[in-house]
Amino acid sequence: MKYDFDQVIDRSANRAAKYDERIKKFGTSDVIPLWVADMDFRTAQPIIDAAKKKAEEGIWGYTSRPDSYFEAICGWQERRNGWKIDRNLISWSLGVVPALSSIVKIFSQPGDKVMIQTPVYSEFYDVTEAWERVVVENQLVEKDGRWTVDFEDFEKKAREVKIFLLCSPHNPLGIVWIREELQKMADICIANDVLLVSDEIHSDLIFHGKKHIPTATVSQEIAGKIISCISGTKTFNLAGLQASATIFPNAEMKAKFDRFWMNMDVHRNNAFSSVAMEAAFNEGEEWLEQLLEYLDGNFEYVKSFCEEHIPQIKVNVPDATYLMWLDCRGLGMDNETLRKFMIEKAGLGLNEGYTFGRSLTGYMRLNAACPRSILQQAMKQLRDAVDSYK
């Protein structure tokens, strides 16, 4: 079927954090919310149908996860990424961020160091510092608008850390790591006995002919040393249903993870997420292919508009995710001035760049997963604000 991504849907009664939490986040509700990483699109019809069928049953008790649930996950990964996952090494979890947080707690001790590659989404800081671990930053290096790994620094810092949290594809830079980069990072981790944890939640949202490579598929040695975190919640706009999969290299590590969640009695699936995720992986590809084409059009619109009307802002068009990294250094503002400018002058609710890398100045992140008419209005407001500022 043909999906209409241009449809503007009123989310005021949707209990949407992106909209309802504007006052808390920005001090006003009078901003176009382009921050929280969910989409303003209805999900695929087969997913809606599956959820409706579940709703009509009228009994939503403690929920099991049948073999078909895990088969859908394995089938999706094998079809899309050529990754053959051992069903026996998959654990269900509430989401990728809860999984990352629990992994840091289970497989390290207070005072241990955890390496992240900044700029990266702020939860990488949060899940490390929440358990009294120490963040070590391997800062990505920018050259001519392209960000790459500083491998000399990476190797040096790998000698002192317990865990490396990899974001693949990368949020907010939209990098799709190539095999050689993944191989090199993984080899350094293995040589230094560093646990590699790969967050691959955006791995279905790939553009421009790029190909996502699951880190666990790079080599047999790497597969035996890595924990992978995946989900369809970003792909199909299902974050509110809370479901992800964590793939372990061995049964012992999986058992430790499962025991952690069972000790909190958090080990049974949301009654609706189990059927929604299964439907997504089995029947959602038609919707996804149309979504990717639409998002790519959104990226091109924002890029072209800024090049023509707001040259002070340099736009990074992502090869993955639906998030755009904006280099606003040409406006000459410090972080707090830039934040207030976007809210008070442009009427936009964006994510501040310094939350992704604490040493950064002059960046913002924009969520482009909305109807194009919303982006058009946002860009016009931004142009007018910049023109007035000049």
Question: Is 85 part of any domain?
Answer: yes
178 and 318 belong to one structural domain: no
Question: Is 72 part of any domain?
Answer: yes
196 and 251 belong to one structural domain: yes
Question: Is 77 part of any domain?
Answer: yes
**Which of 259, 283, 307 is the endpoint of a domain?**
283
Question: Is 56 part of any domain?
Answer: no
CATH number at residue 104: 3.40.640.10
Residues 6+ apart with CB under 8 A from 171: 37, 120, 121, 202, 321, 323
98 and 164 belong to one structural domain: yes
192 and 252 belong to one structural domain: yes
- pTM of the prediction? 0.96
**Which of 283, 308, 329 is the endpoint of a domain?**
283
134 and 167 belong to one structural domain: yes
220 and 146 belong to one structural domain: yes
Element (H, E) at 110: none
82 and 173 belong to one structural domain: yes
Q: Where are the beta strands (DSSP E) in 14-112?
A: 32-33, 90-93
Question: Is 6 part of any domain?
Answer: no
Structure tokens that stand for 386 in this block: 């910049």
189 and 321 belong to one structural domain: no
246 and 116 belong to one structural domain: yes
Q: Where are the beta strands (DSSP E) in the chain?
A: 32-33, 90-93, 113-116, 134-137, 141-143, 146-148, 163-167, 195-199, 226-230, 244-247, 314-316, 323-327, 348-349, 351-352, 363-367
120 and 176 belong to one structural domain: yes
**Which of 230, 252, 283 is the endpoint of a domain?**
283
Per-residue pLDDT 10s for the chain (390 aa) are 999 999 999 998 899 999 999 999 999 999 999 999 999 999 999 999 999 999 999 999 999 999 999 999 999 999 999 999 999 999 999 999 999 999 999 999 999 999 999 999 999 999 999 999 999 999 999 987 789 999 999 999 999 999 999 999 999 999 999 999 999 999 999 999 999 999 999 999 999 999 999 999 999 999 999 999 999 999 999 999 999 999 999 999 999 999 999 999 988 878 999 999 999 999 999 999 999 999 999 999 999 999 999 999 999 999 999 999 999 999 999 999 999 999 999 999 999 999 999 999 999 999 999 999 999 999 999 999 999 987
CATH number at residue 376: 3.90.1150.10
Q: Note the pLDDT of residue 268.
A: 80
Question: Is 49 part of any domain?
Answer: no
Instruction: Determine contact, residues 190/226, Cβ cutoff 8 Å.
Output: no
Question: Is 226 part of any domain?
Answer: yes
Q: Note the pLDDT of residue 144.
A: 78
Q: Note the pLDDT of residue 266.
A: 87
Domain of 340, in residue numbers: 17-44+286-389
Residues 6+ apart with CB under 8 A from 311: 330
Question: Is 161 part of any domain?
Answer: yes
CA distance 292 to 300: 12
Q: Note the pLDDT of residue 167.
A: 98
94 and 219 belong to one structural domain: yes
Please give the single-letter amino acid code of residue 80.
Answer: R
23 and 112 belong to one structural domain: no
**Count of structural domains, the chain:** 2
